[in-house]
Structure 1
Amino acid sequence: MSQPSGRSAARPLTERQRRVLVVDDEQPLVTLVAGYLERDGFEVSTAHDGGTALELARTADPDVVVLDLGLPVVDGVEVCRRLRTFSDCYVVMLTARAEEVDKLIGLSVGADDYMTKPFSPRELVARIHVMLRRPRLTTDPLPPLEEQPPRVIGGLVLDLAGHEVHLDGEPVPLTPTEFDLLATLAGRPKLAFTRRQLIDAVWGETWVGDEHLVDVHVAHLRRKLGDDPAAPRFVRTVRGVGYRLGTGT
């Protein structure tokens, strides 16, 4: 098993520094990506296999994990699945194969984004910055989160300030992307959002890729909310447009 590398563990974190874990069995690629991230002010840890990645994810508590799909022994999909049992960090999946099935499999277990090799390290760093900023789609200014009361849709309660969701009194464990997607829809409950609008709001206006990424996350969100895809209560499909928030009935 490869040894974990805490590249800047001795340096105290500042308010601007975030932790990124880079996981890939191609050591030159890991070194290249880690170098770009460190120059941009990130604290970087690295791993070359799934087991070490999970150990580091528990101890280093990263804000973002850059995770290769094709890892030896424990592949990226399984790493992501296990990661989601104890962490809500952002996950960017890397794949050497461009087939849509690889991307969708990764996203179905809680990955937030994907990049196909070869890719630009600069673009990866830019996407990570966008994830950590998470701009919101706005047509009218909204008050700060701490001034917004919880939003109640039927039995669903969305607490923006606390970053929590409850359904019929029970907590719903959402990933950051799923929460942001639901919060965006709840921010304009009468508006039908296009996929592009949701991409801009949740992933950022600079995101480039397949817009059906939204459909994958909607499906995952519906499953966690107990929504019947044929007759959803909360996340409803608007044919020819995209999605809007339902009334919960």
Structure 2
Amino acid sequence: MASILLADDDIELSRMLVDYLTEEGFNVDAAYDGDMALSKALANEYDLLILDVMMPNRNGFDVLRELRVQSLLPVLMLTARGDDVDSIVGLELGADDYLAKPSHPRVLVARIRAILRRAEAQGELHCGKERLDQIAMDDLVMHFGSRTVTCGDDPVSMTSTEFSLLSVLLREAGNVVSKADLSERALGRKLSRYDRSLDMHVSNLRKKLGPLSDGQERIKTVRGVGYIYSRN
């Protein structure tokens, strides 16, 4: 049973969601302000943090910023409907996904399960019948057993979503991966018309990995189609 921390200062809504998610088979704990959310997230072994942006004492962005210094716990941000700025900032800070409020609880459950599948799949990639323990491409190595990435000799910290995106791009290195395909394989959902999360995650990967040793861009955009991981 997956363990979830729900951080939202709306106590009535939180209680309703805790009941709903419990009925869906999750073990759910709640926090009602930013300080409590950060403390619980760091002190306990949760599988996912659902984090509202607007909270007292410490807002969701501050919680996420401090959490990422110490933890790669998957995070689903709850943002105000229509506020693209909140969504973009959350993704830049390392959120795995975002969901605008209010949303139907079934949509929330679908997002939760997609994130949990990605996190679980990090160490479970297979090649035929043999377990694929790592992928090496030029100066980059993905270790699936330890769920780590090294670029050159340096470790690279990644969220579960970034790890999943990179694994798809590496396995298709030299080939264009459409945004629709990448969204379904890495994010676990169909690409919607105005969803910027995929672009933001790729942007974060570029910042963390930098260019190839010969200076060319590591992950290239193919305008109107998708992305390609360059071979050196």
1:171 aligns with 2:171: no
Q: 2:199 is matched with which residue?
A: 215
Report the 3-state secondary structure (helix = DSSP H, G, I; strand = E; otherwise coil) of the residue aligned with 2:227. Answer: strand
Q: 2:53 is matched with which residue?
A: 69
Q: 2:99 is matched with which residue?
A: 115
Q: 2:219 is matched with which residue?
A: 235
Q: 2:128 is matched with which residue?
A: 143
Equivalent residues in 2 for 1:1-249, closer than 5 Å: 17-134=1-118, 142-143=127-128, 147-205=131-189, 208=192, 210-227=194-211, 232-247=216-231, 249=232
Distance 1:87 1:210, change over 3 A: farther
CA distance in 1: counterparts of 2:110 and 2:134, whole angstroms: 32
Fraction of identical pairs, as percent: 36
Distance 1:225 1:125, change over 3 A: same
CA distance in 1: counterparts of 2:63 and 2:204, whole angstroms: 18
Report the 3-state secondary structure (helix = DSSP H, G, I; strand = E; otherwise coil) of the residue aligned with 2:145. Answer: coil
Q: How far did residue 149 of structure 1 move?
A: 4.8
Q: How far did residue 143 of structure 1 move?
A: 2.8
Report the 3-state secondary structure (helix = DSSP H, G, I; strand = E; otherwise coil) of the residue aligned with 1:44. Answer: strand
The answer to whether the Cα contact below 8 Å between 1:21 and 1:46 also exists between their aligned partners in 2 is yes
Q: How far did residue 64 of structure 1 move?
A: 0.7
CA distance in 2: counterparts of 1:211 and 1:110, whole angstroms: 17
> Which structure shows the higher strand fraction?
2
Q: How far did residue 62 of structure 1 move?
A: 1.2
The residue type paired with residue 213 of structure 1 is S
Q: TM-score, normalised by structure 1?
A: 0.83
Q: How many residues align?
A: 225
Structure 1 unaligned spans of 5+: 1-16
Q: How far did residue 94 of structure 1 move?
A: 0.7
Cα-Cα RMSD: 2.1
Structure 2 unaligned spans of 5+: none
CA distance in 2: counterparts of 1:206 and 1:19, whole angstroms: 26
